[in-house]
Amino acid sequence: MTDRTELLEAALNSLVEGIALVGEEGSVVFWNQAAEAITGHAEVDLVGLPAPETLKPLLERWVPLTDAEPDLDPKPMHGSPVHVRHKLGHDVPAMARVLVLRDGLGGRIGTAAVFHPTESLDALPQGESSEGKDVKVSQAELKERLETEFEDFARGGETFGVLWITVDQAHDLRKTHGANACNTMIEKVAQALAKGLRPTEKLGRWGDDEFLVVSHERTPEMLASHAQALAGLARTADFRWWGDRVSITVSIGAAQADRAGTLAELLGRAKAAMSSSFHAGGNQITSAPGGLPCSPS
């Protein structure tokens, strides 16, 4: 029989909004998958600890009652704007509301927060409107970008890497519901991924169910961490078909360029890493061996 706590956690993790529970002592008790995707902070790094400084703007109202304010509760925030710092350093504008949690006798036992990014998931990076536009570049444009990036890198330019992304559910959905359903899902994933792109990054369709992201993360570790954030955003894609919500996950292969190799080898390493993620059950990130380790300084 499934444990009730396990059911509750699964329910909270299925939501597209970030959910956080904080105990009266100020430590994080629960942090759902959407919260991870929005902030880049994994639950395993937060639970049982005080929130990091980068999240204080979001959590600043989650303080225990002081002796001077024994009867006051934090006022609920109905769409109040907050700004938090993503784990990777960029600003994340969000809307949040706070709820006081009480036990059966009315005693305060903690605080819950519900939050989501201010911009719609349909928004393009750099604040551009997505109305009438596509969130991705064409395969030809992406190929040209890859060639230019690699030529510059080979001449001693800035390091870069690629993320090869496949949608785990695409093949089965195409078989059971047809191409139209699958393409609609792919577009939803593209819109969700676009939320996490850096200003200089490009996302492009690379096959029926796959994407490539050209990234300038400076180390393999930073590239993998960025991939984790994008995978979290993909899980927040709200795709429904005939009224049923389809849970979406992606498998990602991360590979950083190597001056001793070629562009074809870079893409081959990224594809192999993605395949490893997919065949391991999906919803995973695999970093390809090789690449150029660069100092983040």
> How much is the pLDDT for 48?
87
The listed CATH number (3.40.50.10190, 3.90.950.20, 3.40.50.10860, 3.30.450.20) that belongs to domain 4-117: 3.30.450.20
Give just the sign of the alpha carbon dihedral 143, 199, 288, 158: positive
Task: State residue 284's pLDDT score.
Answer: 94
pLDDT in tens, 70-116: 444 444 434 577 777 777 776 777 777 777 888 888 888 888 888 87
| Span of 60-74, 106-120, 215-229 with lowest mean pLDDT | 60-74
Q: Which of 110, 117, 116, 95 has its CA nearest to residue 21?
A: 110
In degrees, rounded to 5, the angle at the alpha carbon of residue 71 between the alpha carbons of residues 65 and 74 is 55
How many distinct helices (H) and strands (E) make up the chain?
Answer: 8, 12
- The boundaries of every CATH 3.30.70.270 domain in the chain are 128-287
Of the candidate ranges 87-101, 141-155, 255-269, the one whose mean pLDDT is the lowest: 87-101
pLDDT at 170: 92
pTM score of the predicted model: 0.56
pLDDT attached to residue 136: 64
CATH 3.30.450.20 range(s) for the chain read: 4-117
Residue 124 clears pLDDT 60, i.e. is over it: no
Look at residue 265 in the predicted model and tell me its pLDDT.
92
State the pLDDT confidence band at 164, using cuts at 50, 70 and 90: very high
At 126 the pLDDT is 29
- State the fold for domain 128-287: Alpha-Beta Plaits (3.30.70)
Write down the pLDDT at residue 248. 92
In tens, the pLDDT along 3-36 reads 778 888 888 877 767 888 888 887 888 988 888 8
